[in-house]
Structure 1
Amino acid sequence: MSLILQIETSTTSCSVALAKDGKLLSSKSINQRNIHAEVITVFIGEIFAANGLTFEEMDAVAVSSGPGSYTGLRIGVSTAKGLCFSLDKPLIAVETLEAMASGYLSRIKEVSGEFLLCPMIDARRMEVYTALFDQQLNRLVATSAQIIDQESFKQHLDQHRIVFFGDGAAKCKAVLGYHPNAVFTDGFLNQAEDLTQLAAAKFQQKQFEDVAYFEPFYLKDFIAGKIGSR
């Protein structure tokens, strides 16, 4: 039995969810830049209240660990760690791109048949954080920051259909959309419910993080920008 609070703040989407035994109970989210710190604890309180549950009843906190927005990841991980410290609960980290792939299969899956999954998170200009998975979530290409050009993923695209999705995919469509095996799914937003299956599996296997020393997976060093920039 497991009741897990799930937190997703790696992109412009700020989302929280409650899941019990690998099944979603409730979720709440908003897609708006620079609002995460303002709403995340409010959302958490609201979903617990809506389900008639207290914080003490949860068994773990799962957080989308990156890559993604530096500020968003800091807010999500800090919130998760604060809850784990204060309530003495274990912390579960779920890699963001893997969660996105799982979420696509569970709640989107507009494409039928055999295909590969390529989640993309915007990393400014023509660069994206990305990885490549099969439909069993086996990782075929490691997570990396890539500048997308017409040669990107060519080896896999020549042999498989690839579904590109996430907030970094739209800007890559003009570059990769020429390929007959490239499929683009518009409007995919990261959601905390995407962590559900992966977090439940990690809970069962007791794959917990050290709450004191865990840090988000930034992938790249933080570069300060103008107010309002990512």
Structure 2
Amino acid sequence: MNILSLDASNQTLSFCLRSQGQILSLQHHPQAHIEHLPGLLQSCLDTQGIEARNLDVVAILSGPGSYTGLRGTMLVARSLLSLSGVPVMLRRSPEIMLYACREIASPVLVAQSVRQQQYYFAVGQYSPSHPSQTEGIHYLLAPQIGSHEDLLQALQSFACPVAGDWPENIKPNPRIISMRSFAEELANWAENDFNPTKAAVPLDNLIPFYIRPAVNPPVLASDAKAAQN
């Protein structure tokens, strides 16, 4: 099984090429322009002697993250699907962070800084056998936007390990798990749990997930709580 995974959600272009359970190439290109991605990928495939049409799946992070980076990786995925018929697996950052924490026998609070003093966060666990799971993810607190106060409140409520970003002015929880690139875990997930006949994303659904304050902004955690009271 030949797998290509892409992550350009932050300031680094990352991709992973796996085949038959082994990593053939794992590359990180800090500050690289997204326009360089097709050439970097083609060079990697040529070096490994793999043609694009022989890829079994391309796995990408759909967001949230850099507008330009997400748009660029989505265009690559759309091209591979439309021109070579390569199935596409999409995952959002909370999902891949929870998958990366799959060996932790408890829920995890995952957080990503999305704009100044705001975080996209959730509490959940990778649990493929759970009856309410979606793509193996069981949420105890659904993904939402909140402040660092909302993060602290969630941590106090669930008393669980933390993965991802954390406010610099707050003393970190000693159980924090740091992760900056999702390319390797995306490839792992695609190889171990992706079923292209059931979970492949249609071309029309290959859309980046952005967090835009001016266009249907997600509800802040604090506002959602106030609305319930």
Q: TM-score, with normalisation over the residues of structure 2? A: 0.75
Q: 1:173 to 1:141 in 2, by over 3 A?
A: farther
Given that residues 66 and 96 in structure 1 are in contact (C-alpha distance below 8 angstroms), is that contact kept between their aligned partners in structure 2? yes
SS at match of 1:217: coil
Q: Cα–Cα, structure 1 residues 44 and 134, in superposed 2: closer, same or farther, change >3 Å? A: same
Query: What is aligned with 2:133?
Result: none
Aligned partners of 1:65 and 1:217 also within 8 Å: yes
Q: Is residue 2:127 matched to residue 1:128?
A: no
User: Could you say what secondary structure the match of 1:19 adopts?
Assistant: strand
Helix, strand or coil at the partner of 2:194? helix
Q: 1:36 to 1:144 in 2, by over 3 A?
A: farther
Give the drift of 1:163: 1.9
Instruction: Say whether residues 1:53 and 2:50 are aligned partners.
Output: yes
Show structure 1 runs of 4+ deviating over 4 A: none
Compared with structure 1, are the counterparts of its residues 217 and 99 closer, same or farther at alpha carbon in structure 2 (3 Å cutoff)? same
Q: Give the AA of the match of 2:113.
A: D
The aligned counterpart of 1:191 is 182
After TM superposition, give the deviation of residue 19 of structure 1 in Å: 2.3
Name the residue aligned to 1:110.
Answer: none
Residues 100 and 164 (structure 1 numbering): CA distance in 2 closer, same or farther, change over 3 Å?
closer
Distance 1:140 1:30, change over 3 A: farther
C-alpha change, 1:21 and 1:204, in structure 2 (3 Å) is farther
The offset of 1:8, in angstroms, is 0.8
Per-residue CA deviations over 1:61-110 (Å, capped at 9, x if unaligned) read 2111112222211111111111211112222212222113323558xxxx
Q: Secondary structure, in 3 states, of the residue corresponding to 2:26?
A: strand
1:174-195 C-alpha deviation (Å, 9 max, x unpaired)? 34x37xx663345x31131110
| Distance in 2 between residues matched to 1:57 and 1:22, nearest whole Å | 16
Tell me the equivalent position of 1:142. 142
Task: Calculate percent identity across the aligned residue pairs.
Answer: 22
> Do residues 4 (structure 1) and 3 (structure 2) align?
yes
Q: Structure 1 residues 92, 161: closer, same or farther in 2, change over 3 A?
A: closer
Instruction: Tell me the alpha carbon deviations over residues 167-211 of structure 1, each in whole angstroms, 9 at most, x when there is no partner.
Output: x32xx2534x37xx663345x311311102332322355301111
Q: Indicate the residue corresponding to 2:200 in structure 1.
A: 208
Could you give the per-residue CA deviations for residues 107-143 of structure 1, whole angstroms, max 9, x where no partner exists?
xxxxxx7554333222121101222223645322222
Aligned length: 205
Write the distance in 2 (CA, Å) between the matches of 1:12 and 1:18.
20
Q: Distance in 1 between matches of 2:138 and 2:91?
A: 15
Among 194, 204, 210, the alignment partner of 1:218 is: 210
**Structure 2: stretches of 5+ with no match in the other structure:** 128-136, 216-229
CA contact (8 A) 1:119 1:130 kept: yes
Equivalence for 1:79: 76
Task: Give the CA RMSD over aligned residues.
Answer: 2.8
| Number of the residue aligned with 1:174 | 169
- Separation in structure 1 between the aligned mates of residue 212 and residue 122 of structure 2, nearest angstrom: 15
| Deviating more after overlay: 21-30 vs 44-53 | 21-30
- Distance in 2 separating the partners of 1:120 and 1:152: 8
Structure 1 residues 193-202 or 113-122, which shifts more?
A: 113-122
Matched letter for residue 203 of structure 2 = V
